[in-house]
A = this chain, B = another copy of it.
Amino acid sequence: MDEVDTAILAALQDDARRTNKEIAQSLGIAPSTCHERTRSLVRRGVIRGFRAEVDLPALNRGVQALVSVQIRPLHRSVIDGFQDFASGRPEILSSYVLAGADDFVLHVAVQDLDHLHAFLVDRLSKRKEVAGFRTSVVYRQARATAVTALEAPGGG
């Protein structure tokens, strides 16, 4: 992970369709070099994949919320079962399994507040393992443009 790798990674996180030629030129290296570096990043697993990013409002998902959920009993089978449930629900973008007071956080995106309420009371509350939950509507979200490598844990 030198400077060139980092720059390529930043470029592809910003726009995965940027051509190899363009990136090479912007970095002042040969296209063949840039190409091999990019292949290496994929081969080493630094790049997990290339994905299209969708606009949630355009898909009738103008309302987002983070839902903190407590699960009981806190057994592996129950946790796995709830995560399977979460993976199967179209409303849920991602789910986090946590340490601490909350066992799960669900990132949901739905049409409007009515549908959020319906999801919470008709779907989530119906689950036997759900001991409680707390909902926070998302006003705004900001994401890092490019995720960069941090210093090695030992070498920092």
On A, residues with C-beta under 8 Å from B are 1, 9, 12-17, 44-56, 58-61, 66, 83, 86-87, 90-102, 105, 109-112, 114-115, 134-144, 147-153, 156
Q: Which of A92, A102, A144 counts the most chain B CB atoms within 10 A? A: A144
CB-CB under 8 A from A142, the residues of chain B are 83, 86-87, 94-95
Residue in B17, B50, B90 whose beta carbon sits within 8 Å of that of A150 in the complex: B90
Q: With A48-B53, A147-B109, A150-B59 known to touch, is A141 a contact of B14 (CB < 8 Å)? A: no
Chain A interface helix/strand/loop/mixed: mixed
A141 to B12, CA, bound (A): 23
- In the complex, given contacts A9-B54, A14-B51, what are 13 additional A-B residue pairs having Cβ atoms less than 8 angstroms apart? A46-B55, A46-B59, A49-B53, A51-B51, A51-B53, A60-B150, A66-B96, A87-B142, A94-B144, A97-B138, A99-B136, A99-B138, A100-B134
Residue in B14, B95, B134, B143 whose beta carbon sits within 8 Å of that of A94 in the complex: B143
Q: With A13-B54, A50-B52 known to touch, is A60 a contact of B149 (CB < 8 Å)? A: yes
CB-CB under 8 A from A91, the residues of chain B are 150
A141 to B46, CA, bound (A): 18
Residue in B9, B97, B138, B148 whose beta carbon sits within 8 Å of that of A140 in the complex: B97
- Can you give 24 contacting A-B residue pairs, CB < 8 Å? A9-B52, A12-B51, A13-B52, A16-B17, A16-B50, A45-B55, A45-B58, A46-B58, A46-B59, A47-B53, A48-B53, A66-B98, A66-B105, A86-B142, A91-B150, A92-B144, A94-B144, A98-B139, A99-B137, A99-B139, A101-B134, A111-B151, A114-B153, A115-B153
